[in-house]
Amino acid sequence: MRTCPQCTFAFNDADAACCEVCDAPLQPDAVVCPACTLHNEPGATVCASCEQPVWRCSACTGTAAQIEADGGTVLVCTLPCQHPACVACHRRHVSAQDELGQHEVTCLTCDAPLDDASLRAILGDDAHARRAERLLGHVGRLVDCPTPDC
- The pTM assigned to this predicted structure is 0.56
Question: For residue 125, what pLDDT is reported?
Answer: 92
**H-state helical runs in the chain:** 64-69, 87-99, 116-123, 125-139
Q: Which residue in 117, 124, 114 sits closest to 79, CA to CA?
A: 114
More confident residue, 38 or 123: 123
% of the chain residues with pLDDT over 90: 4
CA–CA separation, 62 vs 115, rounded Å? 24
Pairs from 49-58 (Cβ < 8 Å, separation ≥ 24): 49/8, 55/31, 55/84, 56/31, 56/84, 57/84, 57/85, 57/86, 57/89, 58/83, 58/84, 58/85, 58/89, 58/108, 58/109
